[in-house]
Structure 1
Amino acid sequence: MINVKSLEVREVEYTYESRPKISNMDDVAKIVKPLIADTNKEFFITLYLNTKNGILRQEVISIGSLNSNIVHPREVFRTACKVSASGIIVAHNHPSGDPAPSREDIELTKKLVESGKIIGIDVLDHVIIGYDRNYGFKEAGML
């Protein structure tokens, strides 16, 4: 397991054989939650996907404070272009444990979707990790 909290590893690149496939919000949570659960800071992670939704790379984009994080589309899509991702899924935790999206979460998601459309990289989901449940923008019909 990668200990993101210690900042020893900020990104993971998968080989063809080890590449997990993402089909829903639960798949995202299985990969991301162990890395950022039980932290007192927000971690914003991007999963870069190929055309079959296999993970090419995952990367910590930003580490914020207890209740906020600064994320810019430029940082999210820089690696997406570098690894030729066809789509991305972004995820972050809410240290409060409540995965309900904030106004800022909703605005960021809109910016990411708009930016992705311009460069031809789909934002497939934005998942917020809580203590005992998670929130997916796709599942909620917000994407």
Structure 2
Amino acid sequence: MPLSSINIYTLKQIRTKRHRYDLEDYPITSPLTCYKVLQFLLDLNSEPGRVELQYATLKKRTYALLKFGIISLNTRNKIVGIHIIGTGSLDQLYIEPREVIMAAMMNNAKAIIAFHNHPSGDPEPSRDDIFLTRRLKEAGKIMCIELLEHLITGEWNYYSLREKGFI
């Protein structure tokens, strides 16, 4: 009987950046505080593939590209990781729920907060945004990772899909 070969792979996580921050003054208790934390932690105007700290409060934003990411939370809803899953064009970005769940699992997350910006400045969700939210909720349920929120940021404000009943 001929022998066949089997490929064996090892998955290694590479941390691209590590930042120290203290969020005790910014507990995520509502969509507004989530929005403030996102503005504190991430510069959504940065170049593709870069995540930078931003120590600014709410201010006018001009987005160049659509960016989608998640905040991974542990069993006590403390932040254990932030992932930018993808960067798209002005109005398009394709995200698979498996990419989101894989990123959450890398941090052993119990829950996630999904977020993305709308380069147009208008945070109103598209049909695709609502469809993705429902798919993320279903995928998370299967893997025991709760989708707590999906926040869309605009030029001056945000849209909470949880507040509007989509989660």
1:90 to 109, 114, 119: 114
Q: Deviations over 1:90-117 (max 9, x none)?
A: 0000011110000000000011000000
Code of the residue aligned with 2:108 in structure 1: it is S
Aligned to 2:29: 23
Code of the residue aligned with 1:97 in structure 2: it is G
Aligned to 2:38: 32
Code of the residue aligned with 2:36 in structure 1: it is K
Instruction: Please identify runs of 4+ aligned residues in structure 1 that moved more than 6 A.
Output: none
Task: Work out whether residues 28 and 37 of structure 2, in 8 Å CA contact, stay in contact via their aligned partners in 1.
Answer: no
Please tell me whether residue 140 in structure 1 is matched to residue 146 in structure 2.
no
Code of the residue aligned with 1:117 in structure 2: it is K
Q: Which stretch has the larger CA shift, 77-86 or 118-127?
A: 77-86
Aligned to 1:110: 134
Aligned to 1:4: none
Which structure has more relative contact order (CA 8 Å, sep 6+)? It is 1
Please tell me whether residue 119 in structure 1 is matched to residue 143 in structure 2.
yes
Structure with a larger share of its residues in helix: 1
Backbone CA RMSD of aligned residues = 2.1
Task: Work out whether residues 97 and 135 of structure 2, in 8 Å CA contact, stay in contact via their aligned partners in 1.
Answer: yes
Code of the residue aligned with 1:30 in structure 2: it is K
Code of the residue aligned with 1:122 in structure 2: it is E
Task: Work out whether residues 41 and 66 of structure 1, in 8 Å CA contact, stay in contact via their aligned partners in 2.
Answer: yes
SS at match of 1:35: coil
Code of the residue aligned with 1:115 in structure 2: it is A
Give the 3 Å change call, closer, same or farther, for CA 12–79 of structure 1 in structure 2: farther
Q: Which stretch has the larger CA shift, 50-59 or 114-123?
A: 50-59
Q: Distance in 2 between matches of 1:11 and 1:44?
A: 18
Task: Work out whether residues 63 and 121 of structure 2, in 8 Å CA contact, stay in contact via their aligned partners in 1.
Answer: no
Task: Work out whether residues 133 and 166 of structure 2, in 8 Å CA contact, stay in contact via their aligned partners in 1.
Answer: no
From the CA coordinates, give the structure whose radius of gyration is larger: 2
SS at match of 2:122: coil
May I ask how many residue pairs the two structures share in their alignment? 133
Structure with a larger share of its residues in strand: 1
Q: Distance in 1 between matches of 2:147 and 2:16?
A: 21
